[in-house]
Amino acid sequence: MSIPANKLSVVALGGVNEIGKNMYVVQYGDEIIVIDCGSKFPDESLLGIDLIVPDITYLLENRNKVKALVVTHGHEDHIGGIPYILKQLNMPVYGTRLTLGLIEGKLKEHGLLRDTKTHLIHSDSRISLGSMTLSFFSTNHSIPDCLGIAFHTPEGTIVHTGDFKFDLTPVNNQYADIHKMADLGKNGVLALLSESTNAERPGFTPSERRVGEHIEEAFAKATQKIFVSTFASNVHRLQQIIDATHKTDRKISLLGRSMVNVVNIATNLGYLNIPEGMLIDPAEVNDYEPHRIVVLCTGSQGEPMAALSRLAASSHRQIEVHRGDTVILAATPIPGNERSVARIVDNFYELGAKVIYGSGTVTGMHVSGHASQEELKLMLTLMKPKYFIPIHGEYRMLHQHRLLAEAVGVEKDNIFILKNGDVVEIQNQSARLARKIQTGNTLVDGLGIGDVGNVVLRDRKHLSEDGILIVVVTLSKAESKIISGPDIISRGFVYVRESEGLLEEVNRITTSEVQKLLLEEINQWSTYKQSIKESIGRFLFAKTKRRPMILPIIIQI
Amino acid sequence: MSIPANKLSVVALGGVNEIGKNMYVVQYGDEIIVIDCGSKFPDESLLGIDLIVPDITYLLENRNKVKALVVTHGHEDHIGGIPYILKQLNMPVYGTRLTLGLIEGKLKEHGLLRDTKTHLIHSDSRISLGSMTLSFFSTNHSIPDCLGIAFHTPEGTIVHTGDFKFDLTPVNNQYADIHKMADLGKNGVLALLSESTNAERPGFTPSERRVGEHIEEAFAKATQKIFVSTFASNVHRLQQIIDATHKTDRKISLLGRSMVNVVNIATNLGYLNIPEGMLIDPAEVNDYEPHRIVVLCTGSQGEPMAALSRLAASSHRQIEVHRGDTVILAATPIPGNERSVARIVDNFYELGAKVIYGSGTVTGMHVSGHASQEELKLMLTLMKPKYFIPIHGEYRMLHQHRLLAEAVGVEKDNIFILKNGDVVEIQNQSARLARKIQTGNTLVDGLGIGDVGNVVLRDRKHLSEDGILIVVVTLSKAESKIISGPDIISRGFVYVRESEGLLEEVNRITTSEVQKLLLEEINQWSTYKQSIKESIGRFLFAKTKRRPMILPIIIQI
């Protein structure tokens, strides 16, 4: 499959009609540039699956055309798929310092560092890849060093915003390139791809500084140990926590692998400034008075294995939460995580801690990293695009973003809500939804990439609900009789001890089915299996209203 | 186990440190009165479980002392356990008309109606059960006919609020008995048990009338079909939807079993007033102009099998949602349900509908049925209890409720936060946490009550994550050799087709393990099984980072 030369195409391989696994393609003629390569977590229906990454069949079929992977920022939904995808398709990776720092950590873990070519870029870089030139602009987001990308092509300019908000009082003075955005718009943007995460939210997202003020206030009030949990990647927030630690003359200790990892990378690259001697080892925490301690940890989303959960369950090896300590959840629970977070809050209250939790809007301990409606309108107004493609969001978010675009004057017919795989082609300044390429979810389970599919998942679902009942019968070919069994083995169905009568009956039914078929001189084993399955299934459903997986095994000697 | 005479005790058998399965016991000497008998839904860790009901071991051990089950109102978390519990312990059931109506529906379904004695009560009833007299007071809540209960005992008065809010402008003029509450307080309340659902929420919960106003407004604007989804049991809201239907000269049709059921019961008992000829069959909907139609349906929490989900997926047999139709979700998603609800909203937008969704605080389409902080303080102020036991809530809610009680003057040491099973004993006007009785979760799976426990659940969890690998080997006792197999069967682990090499290797490992043990003349089959399990487990984890359940089956002939 190939796109005719001199056509400009835009495709989402992931990231529309979903939150997560962002991956977009800009193609001009025979030149493909990939933007981002994210992962997402499976929902509860994908039993046992660890991660989802985009299906890159299209890129594999066009592997010689792929010029580069350009990464907007270092969040998992933009970089989490990189090691899995690079195993299938090697391509040079472009990113800013922090972004590359985080990517390189992953590559190392997967043994890919040596074979991957990385290119450091910054907001003033200009890179030429065939007939396209890429320029960049800084944006504000909940991780430093974020870029928007402008693709200058012979057909016109395509802008991809990356993730953004407008923080007019950013921490560390990391201002967004608002003048560059205005210039892009002035010079003409053919198509804008803009993120839609908060398109349902009215108003203007508050500045990250607001969180710093609330943290300082809470630190000033605390009389004992302070535990703060937030997203490790929110380096600006980490800096504000460190600043508040400094102001209250405390030491800080880090818990959680990703927290230690990000703090190391960010400190080494100069994004995080920790005063000499402030950082202490978890083992040293108990050497200090409680009012001298801050513990900064992962697990703000209630992840059961993370540091915060272990602290709440009093199962951390080195550190305990005591009556009177303060626990701050500097994060709003992401939909789906509320119950796990609530369980942690319950536990901390039981330990006698003061807990600051709940929506960041109320506590002031969290602000979003994404643009609300007024900011999305501001971006659209700055860029004045002819065509608009809302990206990075579920359908209702894309829909609301469309309404915002219409409100600021984008032509209704010039807005494309895509499904993953939909190709928008632009030729002679005119865009249309042209066709669809293969894409979708690639499931990662342990070391397997894409080796678990619907059949396996359906079996897991079935097993998870009612368990399995295995029936083994050994038959003598010569004598046409049962010589061993039936043996009944059940897992995840019922307690064997409490259900002896039930399983004896299963045994009896199996024997009588097999003997009947032997008498009829049937020797297709599939008939035996089917017949055992059906008769036992009927019997068990009548008795228990459950439908375990029934697996007859017939051995003939 | 028995409680000495003349002691007054209060126990929660369910409902504290959780939302759901409310069941409380008030005991004076040898007389036990049970309050409510709820169920709750399992969380995602209880694979395959349908329902959870309280463990009533204590009641079964004292079955001759149990005088009555008094039910405060007809919500599932207060009545859902009744059919399962009555199968174990028959007791007379007391409730108001609507409450009994809903209970009787359940009893019928479970074939228990004939053997259960029910007693109709109302807010002015006084019933004497041994040395206790019970009086009642009406409360406002999201279902009509709710009662609070006062237990007048020789030791003093215990008040149980049931679920409540203070709605000062209630629909259908169903006022709460605020003067009775004041009288109880004036005459002295020894201990108050008050619900804590919204103890984290500041302010005063808005009146249900507010929802009616917003519904009317949305109905007036709609130009085509209107779909409204809400909790079937919220009869006041149903009435307001019917009133708005009447005002806009539409017909109404009901979708969903529980909606049809509640509307029938409530209409028959006079709680719901539907104008003659307004109600039409779903099959008739298409006979009317779209602007003449309202569809009232279940599924506002995103339940996948409910009517709303089917409409969103365009898979309802009789009714379709078209471009321009209006869909109103008159319910706030309960934590844990956000993602399923969001999926439905996405689907309706894709169909081109206008969708009113999200938090009721924003849309005005939902108000809580539970008292917020100011109302909880009002209840505490009216009752002026000596002792206070916050009930009906998770730990953090009970904790916040305690702080509210302290704020209005209840002695700190007179407040008891209980765990299920904790017994508060009161003697000579003095209360103490005396001891603990057995209680907990009884799991309902299909027809089985309590026959699924930890081992079965652990197996289901294991099976759900990595599936199962069954290895069957048949040995000849006489010849000490393998005569059939190994046969490898996998379910929920990997695609067999794509993993032939892997399974061949499993086969090879099994053969070599078995032959080695045969050579060593070991004939304990458990050794064979253990050895196969370990060597295959090690191999598969190294190759796949997965740990399927490995089930070796050795057959000897």
Q: Lowest mean pLDDT of A29-38, A467-476, B9-18, B176-185, name the range.
A: A467-476
The answer to whether residue A491 sits within a structural domain is: yes
Residue B295 lies in a domain: yes
- Average pLDDT in chain B: 92
Which residues of chain A are within 8 Å of residue B313 when distances are taken between CB atoms?
none
> Range with the lowest mean pLDDT among A243-247, A513-517, B267-271?
A513-517
Among B327, B361, B395, where does a domain finish?
Answer: B361
Confidence bin at B497 (pLDDT 50/70/90): low
Spacing of C-alpha B535 from chain mean position: 44
Residues A343 and A372 in one domain: no
Domain boundary residue, one of B345, B361, B377: B361
ipTM higher than 0.90? no
Residue-wise pLDDT tens digits, B376-411: 999 999 999 999 999 999 999 999 999 999 999 999
Domain range for B33: 8-203+368-449
- What pLDDT score does B5 carry? 53
Position B478 pLDDT exceeds 80: no
Q: A403 touching B, CB under 8 A?
A: no
pLDDT greater than 60 at residue A2: no
In a domain, B3, yes or no: no
Residues 282-341 of B with CB under 8 A from A: 335-336, 338-339
On whether any CB of chain A is under 8 Å from the CB of B109, the answer is no
Q: Do B439 and B408 have their domain in common?
A: yes
The closest CB to that of B451, out of A48, A499, A553, belongs to A499
Between A328 and B338, the more confident residue is A328
- Residue A2 counted as domain residue: no
State the smallest CA–CA distance between residue B347 and chain A in angstroms. Answer: 8
Looking only at the bridges linking them, the beta strands covering A23-28 and A8-14 are antiparallel
Name the residue among A47, A347, A494 with its Cβ closest to that of B456: A494
**Surface of A (498-557) touching B: CB under 8 A:** 498-499, 543-546, 549, 551, 553, 555-557
Band (A1; pLDDT cuts 50, 70, 90): very low
CA distance B173 to B357: 28
Question: What gap in Å lies between CA B246 and CA B275, rounded to an integer?
Answer: 8
Which of residues B361, B387, B419 is at a domain's end? B361
B488 and A CB contact within 8 Å:
no
Question: Which of B197, B348, B460, B484 would best serve as a mutation to test chain A binding (most A beta carbons within 10 A)?
Answer: B460
Predicted local distance difference test score (pLDDT) of residue B474: 85
Residue at A414 is within a domain? yes
The pTM of the full predicted model, rounded to 2 decimals, is 0.86
Residue B1 domain-assigned? no
How much is the pLDDT for B1? 46
- Note which residues in 198-217 of chain B have CB less than 8 A from chain A: 200
The pLDDT of residue A546: 86
Tokens representing A543 are: 């008795």
Give the total number of structural domains in chain B: 3
Tell me, yes or no, whether A175 and A32 share the same domain: yes
Give the Cα separation of A251 and A256 in Å (integer): 17
Which chain A residues are Cβ-neighbours of B396 within 8 angstroms? Answer: 342, 345-346, 349, 355
In a shared domain, residues B296 and B230: yes
User: Is A260 or B528 the better-scoring residue by pLDDT?
Assistant: A260
- Is residue A261 in some structural domain? yes
Examine the pLDDT at A3 and tell me if it is beyond 50: no
User: Per-residue pLDDT averaged across A390-413, rounded?
Assistant: 97
Helical pair B500-519 and B525-544, crossing angle rounded to 10 deg: 150
The residue type of B57 is: T
Q: What are the residues facing A118 on neighbouring strands?
A: A93
Burial B340-378 (b: 16+ CB within 10 A, else e): bbbbbbbbbbbbebbbbbbebeebbbbbbbbbbbebbbb
Of residues A339, A466, A474, nearest to B336 (C-beta):
A339
Single out the catalytic residue among B76, B195, B208, B375: B195
Task: Flag whether pLDDT at B14 surpasses 60.
Answer: yes
B192 near B387, Cβ under 8 Å?
yes
Lowest mean pLDDT among A338-352, A533-547, B302-316: A533-547
CA-CA-CA-CA torsion for A373, A378, A381, A383, nearest 10 degrees?
-110
* Distance, CA of A205 to CA of A201 (rounded, Å): 9
- Treating both helix axes as pointing N-terminal to C-terminal, what angle do B395-407 and A338-350 enclose, rounded to 10 degrees? 50
Q: Are the CB atoms for A469 and A506 separated by under 8 Å?
A: yes
- Determine, for residues A463 and B466 on separate chains, whether the beta-carbon distance falls below 8 Å: no
Residues B409 and B515 in one domain: no
Question: So what's the pLDDT on residue A392?
Answer: 97
Q: Which residue of B has its CA nearest to A449?
A: B544
State the nearest Cα–Cα gap between B32 and chain A, in angstroms: 30
Lowest mean pLDDT among A51-60, A110-119, B361-370, B516-525: B516-525
Q: Does residue B323 sit in the same domain as residue B214?
A: yes
Instruction: Say whether A394 and B551 touch across the interface (CB within 8 A).
Output: no
pLDDT tens column, B45-63: 888 888 999 999 999 999 9
CA angle B252, B258, B263 (to 5 degrees): 45
Does A48 carry a binding-site annotation?
yes
Contact (CB<8Å) B470/A342 = no
Most confidently modeled of A389-403, A451-465, B474-488? Answer: A389-403
Q: Could you tell me if A174 and A215 lie in one domain?
A: no
Same domain? A477 vs A337: no
Kindly determine whether residue A460 and residue B492, on different chains, have CB atoms separated by under 8 Å.
yes
Residue in B460, B495, B553 closest to A451 by CB: B495
pLDDT bin (cut points 50, 70, 90) of residue A498 is low
Interface of A with B in 419-458 (CB under 8 A): 445-448, 451-453, 455-457
CA nearest to B452 within chain A: A494
| Domain assignment present for B458 | yes
Whether residue B555 and residue A484 make contact (CB cut-off 8 A), yes or no, is yes
Whose structure tokens read 């985009």? A54
Handedness of CA B532, B537, B542, B546 (dihedral sign): positive
State whether B334 and B261 are in the same domain: yes
CATH number, domain of A127, equals 3.60.15.10
Band of residue A484 on the pLDDT scale cut at 50, 70, 90: confident
> Which of A74-78, A503-507, B461-465: highest mean pLDDT?
A74-78
CATH number assigned to the domain comprising residue B329? 3.40.50.10710
pLDDT tens digits for A70-95? 999 999 999 999 999 999 999 999 99
**Tokens found for residue A171:** 């921490």
Region A30-44 average pLDDT: 93
- Residues of A with Cβ-Cβ distance to B466 under 8 angstroms: 48
Which residue did the predictor score with more confidence, B524 or A68?
Answer: A68
Q: What's the pLDDT score for residue A113?
A: 93
* Pairs of residues, one from chain A and one from chain B, whose beta carbons lie less than 8 Å apart: 188
- Minimum CA–CA partner of A348 in chain B: B396
Instruction: Indicate which CATH number applies to the domain containing A462.
Output: 3.10.20.580
- Taking an 8 Å cut-off on Cβ atoms, the answer to whether A555 and B485 are in contact is yes
Helical pair B338-350 and A395-407, crossing angle rounded to 10 deg:
50
A38–chain B nearest CA distance, Å: 20
Q: In this complex, do A551 and B470 lie within 8 Å of one another by their Cβ atoms?
A: yes
| C-alpha separations of A547 from A466, A469, B17 in Å | 6, 10, 33
The whole-chain average pLDDT of chain A stands at 92
Do A392 and A503 fall into the same domain? no
B370 counts as catalytic: yes
CB contact under 8 A, A491 and B498: no
Angle B257-268/B235-247 helices, nearest 10 degrees? 90
User: Pick from B355, B395, B553: which is nearest to A350 by CB?
Assistant: B395
Q: Which of B18, B370, B425, B513 is catalytic?
A: B370
Percent with pLDDT over 90 in chain A: 73
With CB atoms and an 8 Å threshold, state whether B346 touches A394.
Answer: yes
Between CA A411 and CA A431 the distance in angstroms is 12
Q: Is A392 annotated as ligand-binding?
A: yes
Query: Do residues A259 and A342 share a domain?
Result: yes
| A154-183 per-position pLDDT tens digit | 999 999 999 999 999 999 888 999 999 999
* Residue A118 and residue A60 in one domain: yes
Tell me the chain B residues in contact with residue A464 when contact means C-beta distances shorter than 8 Å. Answer: 47-48, 460-461, 463-464
Q: Is B282 a residue whose pLDDT tops 70?
A: yes
